[in-house]
Amino acid sequence: MDIQQIVREVMKEMEHNSPVENDSSSVTQNYEEKHFTYPIEKEVTVDHPVNKSSIEQVQSLTPARIGIGRTGTRMKTKNYLDFRVDHAAAQDAVFKDVEDRVLESMDLPILYSKAKTMQEYLMNLDVGRKLNEESVKWLKSQTGKGKQVQIIVSDGLSSTGIEETIPDLLPALKQGLDSKGITMGKPVFIKKSRVWIQDEVASIVDCDVVISLIGERPGLATSKSISAYIIYRPTKESVEADRTVFSNIHEGGVPPVEAGAYLSDVIEEMLHHKASGVKFSQIK
């Protein structure tokens, strides 16, 4: 049976089961007026499992694809569709921009890296590590420099992660720092930027600690994760070992509000010990 025959059979069955009149105009109208949502629900699709309850228990503990069946050498249709949905969500997280309504709700100044397109951003690491000229001028013109902490929000590789976590994380982080009497510069949002852009920002605003909240590369388990990269007084010689990283911040990992409160505690310690990264972990 070819694909056209399959489509005809499916349409015939849909029309047969439809409660409305089965004429072509009503079917078309009914289709156009409704949106289809594909439900992703974990279920054991292995044929004749020896211990189904054990598989279900493990499935409840991990987002990994466990207990999926196969037909011959291929996944079953449901598992394949689940995979495609997750893959599409991961691609959207990388390539789409953070929605305007989210940016407006955060009320953050929007700066830009030197990456002009997403293609350039993905293929050339260096352009995402530097601000463009206009953003440098804007930062230099701002008052209120020399604060203890500067917060940067970056879409990075997951705009979805920013949309889902920052509205809860950022207020919790700011509240935590404020309650400790720690001074902050105005948080900024930098489009198409990478972690190392925080070094340039820190040098311009003359802060002690800079923290980047950045969308992480999405996987098939979640497209909503972000990480926090923190460094004390970065210089041109700073390397990855000088940065402290907290990852897996999302609804299925570390809850955003909890992460914000915890990060404020960590920053307070960094300011006290004047260190971050490996040096900070050795002090602790």
Task: List binding-site positions.
Answer: 195, 216
**Residues 126, 115: contact at Cβ < 8 Å?**
no
Tokens of 146: 């020399």
- Binding site per annotation, positions for adenosylcob(III)alamin: 195, 216
Phi, then psi, of 118 in degrees rounded to 5? -65, -35
Q: Helix (H, G, I), strand (E, B), or coil: what is residue 239?
A: coil
Tokens of 34: 């409704």
Tokens of 233: 């007084």
Q: CA torsion, points 169, 175, 180, 184, in degrees to nearest 10? A: 80
Question: Measuring CA to CA, which residue among 164, 122, 143 is closest to residue 250?
Answer: 164
- CB proximity list for 219: less than 8 A, separation 6 or greater: 90, 225
Distance CA 28, CA 47 (A): 37
Phi, then psi, of 71 in degrees rounded to 5? -120, 105
Largest Cα span, the chain: 75
Query: How many Cβ atoms sit within 10 Å of the Cβ of residue 53?
Result: 9
Distance CA 248, CA 222 (A): 10
Q: What's CA 7's distance to the chain center, in Å?
A: 37
